[in-house]
Structure 1
């Protein structure tokens, strides 16, 4: 069975919601999808004072387990046009995996969120893709066969680089139906590619 890791960081729950949608999409193809998060770096009292979502049920991932999966789908909100330091810190510890080519040939993909429509969604995804490629991973995005990313009838995230959501300036906007559908589509898309690569050895 194809195994996927949905590895995320979420301060306020938007990416957590998207991660679960990505997992649902992967599971719909028959894949085994595991949702885990990277460790929080912010002190507990600071996170609580900043109203971070503290009750996230996903277990904390370990760097050493990444090689166990056929694909890794990374979810992280944007910070000034790049991934949050929590996600960056996690991947900065993958040197041994790189040195042993442990992730070569596995599928990598990215999804994100931002406060505004032009708050760095594309730059965050595109900026993280080199990390996946340094590990020799096969990169997959959100193809235009997901028709929900087209059209201008409503405000919505999503690009050919990956699913995304717009949280709003105050973080009060939750992922919309088209954004969740994009996340599910991406999960299924990555699962199918990983399954094909796995079957060819």
Structure 2
């Protein structure tokens, strides 16, 4: 199971800040069956979205015991999450590290670590640093708001329920990679109608 936000199970979030691209894998109920969807977006997120990822930098560097010099070159960009049967959050954090000598980046993932709780405190040996789980939940919360239209400078769908969760996605496909239909064109048209609505090309 992944982290559940208002009925949506978000399993992973990736933010490519250089292009403002957001990729979210989530589970959603489709015609009574659970489908895992991979949605790709190119609308800029809220500043709080980027800040939520940035807040993971000290946690990532603590896990790897990096020096301050290395820490300043770390850019967290993705989280993948699960929950244990007792409800504790499990996650990996991915980050890019700038390598000055080669003027390039290398990606690195943390191990799958778990949130320390009252139920597992006597047995867990691979726990997050204190406070990391709450920071990851903040990323997931921002991802949920992004999917449902709350992005930079505006809410895309202020006057309607975003029941299909397409939210202006460039692409929504099953995790297997087979395309599914979305209501993107209808959502864009709806967002273009009336004062105060967004207009898309």
Report the TM range for the smaller structure's normalisation: under 0.3
Higher strand share: 2
Q: Which fold has the larger relative contact order, with Cα–Cα distance below 8 Å and residues 6 or more apart in sequence?
A: 1
Q: TM-score, normalised by structure 1?
A: 0.25
Q: TM-score, normalised by structure 2?
A: 0.25
Higher helix share: 1
